[in-house]
Amino acid sequence: MPSLEWNKNTWDKEYNWKLKGEEWSQVWGSSEAQWFSSIYPRIHRFIGCDNVLEIACGYGRWTKFLMQYTANIFSGVDLSEECIQYCKDNFKAKKCTFFRNDGVSLAAVSVNKFDFVFSFDSLVHVSQEVLQNYIQQILSLLKPDGVCFIHHSNFGEVLKQTGVQEDHGGYKHMRDQTTSSKDIYDFILDHGGKVICQEIIDWGGGDSIDCLTTFCLNDAYKGISGKRIKNSRFMTEANIILEAHAPYNNL
Ligand SMILES: C[S@@+](CC[C@H](N)C(=O)[O-])C[C@H]1O[C@@H](n2cnc3c(N)ncnc32)[C@H](O)[C@@H]1O
């Protein structure tokens, strides 16, 4: 299981950030193609708002887009000193703040409430305990009608079904091995939240090792009862985006 220590070592010491995370978007063609064709359609109803918090922002692959939809306060949190320094140096919009945290606490941003909380391609690597801890804090940081969209592991469920430790045809994506989407769904409900949608997705192999969970406070979005869907074509969608958008790249 990727521990806090593993995350600190990997992202602050071992990883070479020279491509700023753009390398992880190559399957879609670019971060721009991935944002506008894959991520934006899933979150567009919730952005274009006052205050946004991004957890585990890295070198800002999504920050640069999210900030454009933020009218007031943008806060980014990450456990890596290097990442936070890069973001501080490169994203200097008014009311834009970045904090290095201990991999657990959101205390540094708790003076504000947020309309939208976002994390993608990061919390897949944290333990269920750390994820649950973040979810509890997020629930206390959301405005009454605020929404959170997080990408996390579902590898615990896959492991239970298959018993196979490697998560993608023998290749390790370093997903947390205990987290399951259903446990996260129930945890949100038990802690005063409501799931708007849970999309259980593949990450290139056949198995549904990941999950996108969108949630809010219990009293918000009345009439919505959380949908859980399994989408085993998340990466097929990426391949289509790569092909279909190729002529529009580099214009
Ligand atoms: C694969 S990178 C992705 C960065 C960015 N979200 C992106 O998509 O380009 C993972 C990031 O998560 C951060 N991270 C890992 N565990 C964390 C934790 N427990 N709390 C805060 N940040 C964490 C790392 O420092 C790193 O910047």
Could you tell me which residue, 78 or 158, shows the higher pLDDT?
A: 78
Give the pLDDT score at 160.
83
167: Cβ below 6 Å to ligand 1? no
Please report which helix (H) or strand (E) contains residue 99, including its range: strand 96-100
Residue 122 Cα to ligand 1 middle (Å) = 4
Q: Please say if the pLDDT value at position 168 is more than 70.
A: no
pLDDT in tens, 20-53: 999 999 999 999 999 999 999 999 999 999 999 9
79: Cβ below 6 Å to ligand 1? yes
Residue 152 Cα to ligand 1 middle (Å) = 12
Does residue 212 sit in helix, strand or coil? strand
- Give me the sheet containing 227-231, strands edge to edge: 96-100, 74-78, 52-55, 114-119, 142-153, 210-217, 193-201, 227-231
Residue 25 DSSP class: G
Find the mean pLDDT for residues 143-168. 86
pLDDT in tens, 63-96: 999 999 999 999 999 999 999 999 999 998 778 9
Ligand 1 atom nearest 21 alpha carbon: 9
Q: Among candidates 251, 4, 5, which has minimal Cα distance to 126? A: 4
- Pairing mode of beta strands 210-217, 193-201: antiparallel
122: Cβ below 6 Å to ligand 1? yes
pLDDT in tens, 117-142: 999 999 999 999 999 999 999 999 99
Q: Please say if the pLDDT value at position 3 is more than 60.
A: yes
Give the pLDDT score at 170.
53
Give the pLDDT score at 124.
93
Q: How many CA atoms, within 13 angstroms, populate the side-chain half-sphere of residue 4? A: 11
Which of the four pLDDT bands, split at 50, 70 and 90, describes residue 166? low
Q: Among candidates 115, 16, 126, which has minimal Cα distance to 79? A: 126
Instruction: 68-72: list long-range contacts, CB under 8 Å, 24+ apart.
Output: none
Give the pLDDT score at 250.
67
Residue 49 DSSP class: B
Residue 79 Cα to ligand 1 middle (Å) = 7
Please report which helix (H) or strand (E) contains residue 224, including its range: none
Ligand 1 atom nearest 102 alpha carbon: 20
pLDDT in tens, 214-251: 999 999 999 888 899 999 999 999 999 999 987 887 66
User: Is residue 182 within 8 Å of 121, Cβ to Cβ?
Assistant: no
Give strand pairing partners of 149: 118, 214
Residue 192 Cα to ligand 1 middle (Å) = 26
Q: Please say if the pLDDT value at position 104 is more than 70.
A: yes
Residue 47 Cα to ligand 1 middle (Å) = 21
This prediction's pTM: 0.96
DSSP H helices, 81-201, are: 81-90, 128-141, 155-162, 181-190
